[in-house]
Amino acid sequence: MSKEIAFMEEDIKIEEVKFLSGGQALMECFVAEGVDTIFGYPGGAIMPIYDALYDYTDRINHILVRHEQGASHAAEGYARSSGRVGVCMATSGPGATNLVTGIADAIIDCTPMVAITGQVASNLLGTDAFQETDVIGITTPICKWNYQITDPDEIPLILAKAFFIARAGKPGPVLIDITKDAQVKSMTKPFEYKKVEGLPGYHPRRVPKMDQVEKAAELINKAKRPYILFGHGVLISGAMQEFKEFVEKTDIPCASTLLGLSGISIDHPNYMGWLGMHGMYAPNVMTDQCDVLIAIGMRFDDRVTGDASLFAKQAKIVHIEIDPAEIEKIKKTEAPVIGDVKEVLELLTPLVKKGDFKGWKNEFRKLEPKEKEAVTDRDLKFEGQIKMAEVVKMVSDKTKGEACVVVDVGQHQMVTARYFEFKRHNSYIASGGLGTMGFAIPAALGAKMGAPDRDVIAFIGDGCFQMTIQELGTIAQSKLPVKLIILNNNYLGMVRQWQQLFFDKRYSFVELQNPDFIMISKGFGLEGEKITEREQLSEAIDKMLAHDGGYVLEVVVEKEENVFPMVPAGRSVSEIRLV
């Protein structure tokens, strides 16, 4: 063989060793992280990634949304129902900015999310190129972490970091912006993915310091009137069993925050209900009576505390929380315990005394008739026009409280929290912190992807429904059997309620001229029905639940219904109104 031919063969061999492109590397990262679902929308600057995705559709299910906001909310719904990291993708510029609302929603409700955005090629950065936006600058205040990739070799490490940061400690959204050239170019080395389990600047403490646990136990053991407020942290850390054991051993009455709902079964004898601005009467007012307040995985949001300076001011506070920045952010705390709720309770439960708080629990129960008479009996009077509460109660009964409930934002959100009798965990998926109208339709389809074996039922106001109505198309195209219930009062009900109570009934821009929701749903290819009469309700719900596929049920409810109890914004919980 001549020398020349040998050279040529060598050249051919070098050609054969081609490493993955950036787009392919990204797909391999998803596979390595066990990502089975992505919610996204293609566009110019993310096309190489979508091209790589084309070869991965056997391993990764991509849901094509109708608007990028839908992708980010769907990723949230997925994460909230499954406990895994939700993944969404969008192109640069408007695609990326449309993701922003969902990202902001995810950070405030501690939802693990990885958002991938395409970006213009790196040589065009900063030149006002077509569809260029400084998405890193835009999302810095609302991301747990963000990073711009300009070199495909960075992809494995950065994605490993992204997934670690999204789910570690207090979960949250991470945005990775990838320039188009980094998606197209090949890596210069073989793809190798190593999961990240800690970073020099980020190593959240899971196991608490023992002296903090002991101090908390001491305070709890001395308490005469202890009271537990638990939040989303119980669900995020998967500590439902440990929490139940803690409650049962100590016999302390407990109440949840809005996002803590379904952390414990609603019929548990120690569960007193939920508290907050529209929470239940006893759980709210008893914060003024307890001597030790045990806050577990919650952050004293202003919708929980009202005027924080007056909230539980007689009580010593034990605060179990994974994020050190939350300690004493709002309330002075006697015994902070920094750690994962599950790990903390595993250590704390053996140290607390077996308790018997029958008398103290009774003080909560004694207040219940007052609320029943003033609020519940009125909401469930079954007279006049249909009330939201009736619909929620009936769906709750018919699904035996087992459904995964997704809600939008407003009156129906509060009514659902009040009247749905949650029996299973991770069953109330709501935009609690950000209060994002338009959350429910995309979050419901995401929740269904995250928990395919569960009934996913969304309660949505007529205003909210129109904010992300286009996602009906996603539900139809992806054939997702999601049930959507529109509670239609033809008003932006919560705003109208505030205008009635605090603005002299000056109803400023709250009445809607609504479309024919069912005709629109049918146009998208979803079955649906509109009902206006109480007699139709039961049958309509049965029909919806039995339907094999996506379904929209519109219930016309009383126009000027108000949600009570209510703690007026910024006031003390003692000023709670029942009417």
Partner 1 sequence: MTQYTICVFTENSIGLLNKITVIFTRRRINIESLTVSETVRKGVSRFTIVIKHEKREEVEKLVRQIRKIVEVLAVFGYLNDEIVYNEIALFKISTPIGGKALDIDTINRIYKAWVVYWGLDYVTIQKTGTEEEIFDFFRYLKPHGIIEFVRSGRVAIGKTPQGLVEYLPEDQEWEYYL
Alpha carbon distance 556, 537 (integer Å): 10
Going from the C-alpha of 352 to that of each of 9, 214, 215, 317, the distances in angstroms are: 75, 9, 11, 16
Among residues 59, 189, 195, 203, which is the contact residue for partner 1, using CB under 8 A?
203
Name the catalytic one among 131, 477, 500, 536.
131
Burial class from Cβ neighbours inside 10 Å (0-12, 13-18, 19+) for residue 228 reads buried
Q: Confirm whether 494 is a catalytic residue.
A: yes
R_g (Cα) of the chain, nearest Å: 26
Q: Does 165 bind partner 1 (CB under 8 A)?
A: yes
Q: Does 319 bind partner 1 (CB under 8 A)?
A: no
By C-alpha distance, which of 506, 464, 496, 503 is closest to 562?
496
532-536-538-543 Cα dihedral, nearest 10 degrees: -100
Residues in binding contact with partner 1, number by CB under 8 A? 21
Name the catalytic one among 240, 272, 414, 494.
494
Residue 25 CB, nearest approach to partner 1 (Å): 21
Name the catalytic one among 144, 161, 170, 180.
180
Residue 176 CB, nearest approach to partner 1 (Å): 13
Q: Does 194 bind partner 1 (CB under 8 A)?
A: no
Name the catalytic one among 68, 132, 346, 371.
68
Among residues 190, 200, 359, 384, which is the contact residue for partner 1, using CB under 8 A?
200
Among residues 66, 73, 84, 144, which is the contact residue for partner 1, using CB under 8 A?
144
Among residues 9, 10, 94, 199, which is the contact residue for partner 1, using CB under 8 A?
199
Per CB under 8 A, the segment of 90-98, 196-204, 398-406, 434-442 that binds partner 1 is 196-204
The pair of structure tokens assigned to 522 is: 């049918």
Q: Confirm whether 163 is a catalytic residue.
A: no
Residue 512 CB, nearest approach to partner 1 (Å): 34
Q: Are 73 and 438 in contact (CB under 8 A)?
A: yes
Name the catalytic one among 7, 8, 9, 130.
130
Q: Confirm whether 189 is a catalytic residue.
A: no
Alpha carbon distance 227, 353 (integer Å): 15
Alpha carbon distance 98, 138 (integer Å): 11
Q: Does 17 bind partner 1 (CB under 8 A)?
A: no
65 or 330: CB nearest partner 1: 330
Residue 433 CB, nearest approach to partner 1 (Å): 15
Per CB under 8 A, the segment of 122-130, 186-194, 325-333, 416-424 that binds partner 1 is 325-333
Q: Does 202 bind partner 1 (CB under 8 A)?
A: yes
**3-class SS of residue 327:** coil
Give me the residues paired with residue 336 across strands. Answer: 319
14 or 325: CB nearest partner 1: 325
Q: Per CB under 8 A, which of residues 123..142 are in contact with partner 1?
A: 136-137, 140-141
Residue 336 CB, nearest approach to partner 1 (Å): 12
38 or 295: CB nearest partner 1: 295
Residue 107 CB, nearest approach to partner 1 (Å): 11
ω before 565 within 30° of 0 (cis)? yes
Encoded one letter per residue, x for contact with partner 1 by CB under 8 A and - for no contact, window 328-367 reads xx--------------------------------------
By C-alpha distance, which of 41, 113, 44 is closest to 75?
113
Q: Does 198 bind partner 1 (CB under 8 A)?
A: yes
**3-class SS of residue 458:** strand
Q: Are 404 and 548 in contact (CB under 8 A)?
A: no
Helix H or strand E encompassing 115: strand 113-119
Q: Does 209 bind partner 1 (CB under 8 A)?
A: no
By C-alpha distance, which of 262, 289, 256 is closest to 367?
289
The pair of structure tokens assigned to 254 is: 């407990």
Q: Does 325 bind partner 1 (CB under 8 A)?
A: yes
19 or 202: CB nearest partner 1: 202
Alpha carbon distance 416, 391 (integer Å): 9
Going from the C-alpha of 32 to that of each of 26, 59, 72, 268, 452, the distances in angstroms are: 10, 11, 22, 40, 22
Query: Got the DSSP string for 135-146?
Result: HHHHHGGG-SEE
Residue 145 CB, nearest approach to partner 1 (Å): 5
Question: What are the residues whose beta carbons fall under 8 Å from the beta carbon of 149, sequence distance 6 or more?
Answer: 22, 155, 158, 176, 177, 178, 179, 182
Encoded one letter per residue, x for contact with partner 1 by CB under 8 A and - for no contact, window 474-513 reads ----------------------------------------
Per CB under 8 A, the segment of 321-329, 451-459, 508-516, 561-569 that binds partner 1 is 321-329
Residue 130 CB, nearest approach to partner 1 (Å): 23
531-444-481-479 Cα dihedral, nearest 10 degrees: 120
141 or 384: CB nearest partner 1: 141
Q: Confirm whether 180 is a catalytic residue.
A: yes
The pair of structure tokens assigned to 442 is: 């995309």
Q: Confirm whether 68 is a catalytic residue.
A: yes
Among residues 148, 179, 212, 521, which is the contact residue for partner 1, using CB under 8 A?
148
- Which residues carry out catalysis? 68, 130-131, 180, 494
Interacting residues with partner 1 (CB under 8 A): 136-137, 140-141, 144-146, 148, 165, 198-203, 323-325, 327-329
